[in-house]
Amino acid sequence: MTGGGPGTGPDGAGGQPVRTVVVDDVAEVREGLARLLGLVPGIEVVGTARDGAEALRVVAEAGPAVVLMDMRMPVMDGLAATRVITAVRPAPAVIVLSAYGDESLVVEALLSGARGYLVKGTGVAELAEAVRAAARGESRLSGAVTRPLLERMVEALGTERELRAAAQDAQRGAEQARHAAEAAQRELAGQVVQNHALTARLAGLLDAAPVGIIETDHADRVLRWNRAAEEIYGLAAHEVLGRVDPTAAGSTAVDVRQDANGRVAARYRRSDGVLVEVEIAEATLADDDGRPAGRFRVVTDVTERRELEGRLHHQAYHDPLTGLPNRALFNDRVNAALARARTRGDGRVLVFLLDLDGFKSVNDSLGHDAGDQLLVIAGRRLAGCLRPVDVVARLGGDEFAVLVERDEEVSTPESLAGRLLTALRTPTSLAGRALSVAGSIGVVESTGAADEDAVSLLRDADVAMYAAKHQGKAGFRRFEPGMRAAILARSELENDLRAALAAGEVRLHYQPIVDLASGDIQGVEALLRWHHPTRGPVPPQLVIEVAHDVGLLPGLGDWVVRTAVAQLAQWHRAYPYRADLSVSVNVLASQLAEDGFVDLVRDCLAGAGVPPHRLVLELTEQSLATRGPAAAEALRALRRLGVRVAIDDFGTGYGSLAYLRDLEVDILKIDKSFVDLVAVPGDPAALTRTIVDLATSLRLHPVAEGVTDPAQRAELLRQHCASGQGYLFSPPVEPDRISAMLARPPQ
């Protein structure tokens, strides 16, 4: 029989997954095996069956390369089904599955055409390796059956010797008793036929066995060396028969190990230089007088299984994207480091927890492929700051952890954190854009407490990291016990925000944008306001951060657009002479990239009857500079619709004036930090004038933010900046206050 029928897999032809059918009468076993194999790359379960008869139908329909076949089943057992399946050409390879009490069936299974024999409960690595080997036409036996198989073969060899001796005794008896010669000859002939049949059956089984079979005499000379032994050791039978067993002599063994159960594992260097790993079961053969007459060994090639086990172990304990240790391995390393520190009594363990600031916006604006590249780059840069003995891991998302065992070589936690942050900030190119990545780091140092472990250290490092993030990001904080109270307060704030949004307690206030010469209102900017029942007013930026952390930002952003447009429509209806009034709404690039945002804006404007050019979307320089393809296309669609776009806080982000030529915007809002200096003689005022002149030359409308005194207003007018907003005119106020201002007709 040849393996690799209609569904040949990656180890056969075609490079496709190994199509596999699972047959077992116990549903839990059948479905469990199917799920387990479904997790292994390169194997595809294409069907299951609950008995041999159903297996014949499923195999005919699915065309698998490999069938995993239970032995004990109703209707038609596994042996009968195997005989039928393997009688068809091309036939799939059948691997027999059996309970621990059924090892005696291995011989019958192999003689029935099975390609392998596995014991139920076999590990995933051995199971997957056997399936792949069967698809290539190779055979595998479970390590658990090599000893019973060995005993069965030794028993058969003993039976063969007994038959031979009985035949010889019968011959002698025939010579001594001529009168019984005819009966003795008949008995002898029967014994000879039986002996020949058993010998032929045994010889065929031994030669075709899926494991190496080596038989030697009392002087360790090779008497039997089957085809599997040839493949395992790279030595043909004619090269070793009659000679001292080269594997027993140990000349080719790299190392030999024996476990507590007497099982031997060894690695051998084949004649072609290839390293193979084997498991060996061995028994001593005795002569007629019970004296040792040789040895019989069953050798299983486990090279591929060990390699697969290594790959699966690596996958279980490493991040597939970055190749770094994952959380499970990191926790193990931390606990081992803590144990060493307790043993020494003079060591300390440092755990750093870091996440990338603004990573979600990179994913949203540039796409997930760019985000994945950023994670790989970040992992490499962090590792480059550490010693070989230190550990850097990716715990998930954009979160990394670093383990350092303190000694005289280790600098202070502060200096190491600084190196990590500096490495991250080095500019990199993603999706054709230059980006500088920032991170927030929390660090905790072990105290030597008996109950200290990886989980508790990571928890405290997480608390410190969020403290660093909330103090302004791109920073570092060392854990202090009091931080837990702050994190608890933050958690309460998150819950309170959820409730406030559901109850409609988050409101929009509006700040007028005025004509600097006349003071008339040209438009308003919508600004979030939340008055917490016990905390009082919550800063808008904190509201945005908390909403982002709990996943409420997309919905909140949509609500702001709908509410602001509806309010503008209400003012237009109430004050027809204010038809030129506009409303500005702050948005993020991630909002632009969301499916349906353009439709939302279009529907809001159409439903409210507001002309599109009366809506202004404000984005910061960084949002505009890092916008991905989806956000850029949304921005173009909105401008085609007639919506205007403003650069908010100009001068605080990328700061490239030439960059303005490439931006599809209408309004440039000069940041308050420049406006504060506009009335100061000398260079500060000249800088603001340069921005205004540049905006004018590019046909952008300049708007000054944060105007607080008449001197600033006067200087801005001299610099030909016509519009502004700030507390000189009005703070952000509730809609009814704006209504009162609009009720006064423009001058």
Distance CA 407, CA 551 (A): 42
Indicate whether 164 pLDDT > 60: no
pLDDT given for residue 12 in this prediction:
42
Which pLDDT band, with edges at 50, 70 and 90, does 6 fall under? very low
CATH topology for the 510-528+546-742 domain: TIM Barrel (3.20.20)
* CATH superfamily ID and name for 18-141: Response regulator (3.40.50.2300)
- For the segment 510-519, the average pLDDT, to the nearest whole number, is 95
Which pLDDT band, with edges at 50, 70 and 90, does 638 fall under? very high
pLDDT given for residue 182 in this prediction:
56
Cα–Cα–Cα angle for 311, 317, 323, rounded to 5 degrees: 75
Give the start-to-end residue ranges of the domains of the chain.
18-141, 148-307, 320-480, 510-528+546-742
Which pLDDT band, with edges at 50, 70 and 90, does 260 fall under? low
The residue to which tokens 């089943």 are assigned: 73
- For the segment 374-391, the average pLDDT, to the nearest whole number, is 90
- For the segment 162-170, the average pLDDT, to the nearest whole number, is 57
Distance CA 716, CA 191 (A): 120
Across 127-141, 405-419, 512-526, which has the greatest mean pLDDT?
512-526
Which pLDDT band, with edges at 50, 70 and 90, does 219 fall under? confident
Which pLDDT band, with edges at 50, 70 and 90, does 631 fall under? confident
Helices (H), 287-367: 303-317, 327-344, 359-366
Indicate whether 406 pLDDT > 50: yes
- For the segment 415-434, the average pLDDT, to the nearest whole number, is 83
CATH topology for the 320-480 domain: Alpha-Beta Plaits (3.30.70)
Which pLDDT band, with edges at 50, 70 and 90, does 278 fall under? confident
- For the segment 127-135, the average pLDDT, to the nearest whole number, is 84
> What are 28-59's pLDDT values in tens digits?
888 888 888 887 888 899 999 999 899 999 99
Percent pLDDT > 90 in the chain is 27
Which pLDDT band, with edges at 50, 70 and 90, does 5 fall under? very low
Percent pLDDT > 70 in the chain is 80
Distance CA 648, CA 670 (A): 7
- For the segment 444-448, the average pLDDT, to the nearest whole number, is 88
Across 31-40, 281-290, 573-582, which has the greatest mean pLDDT?
573-582
Distance CA 352, CA 444 (A): 7
| Candidate from 178-187, 300-309, 525-534 with smallest mean pLDDT | 178-187
Task: Please give the mean pLDDT across all residues of the chain.
Answer: 81
pLDDT given for residue 438 in this prediction:
82
DSSP codes, 628-683: -HHHHHHHHHHHHHT-EEEEEEETSSS--GGGGGG---SEEEEPHHHHTTTTSTTH
Indicate whether 18 pLDDT > 50: yes
pTM for this model (two decimals):
0.50
Burial class (CB in 10 A: 0-12, 13-18, 19+), 536: exposed
H or E segment and range at residue 215: strand 212-217
235: left (phi over 0), alpha (psi -120 to 50) or beta: beta
pLDDT given for residue 79 in this prediction:
85
Which pLDDT band, with edges at 50, 70 and 90, does 625 fall under? low
pLDDT given for residue 361 in this prediction:
74
551: left (phi over 0), alpha (psi -120 to 50) or beta: left
- For the segment 349-374, the average pLDDT, to the nearest whole number, is 84
Cα dihedral 199→201→204→208 (10° resolution): -130
The yes/no answer on whether domain 148-307 falls in CATH 3.30.450.20 is yes
The residue to which tokens 């057992």 are assigned: 77
pLDDT given for residue 613 in this prediction:
95
Cβ neighbour number for residue 495 with a 10 Å cutoff: 12
- CA-closest candidate to residue 402, choices 426, 381, 431, 433: 381
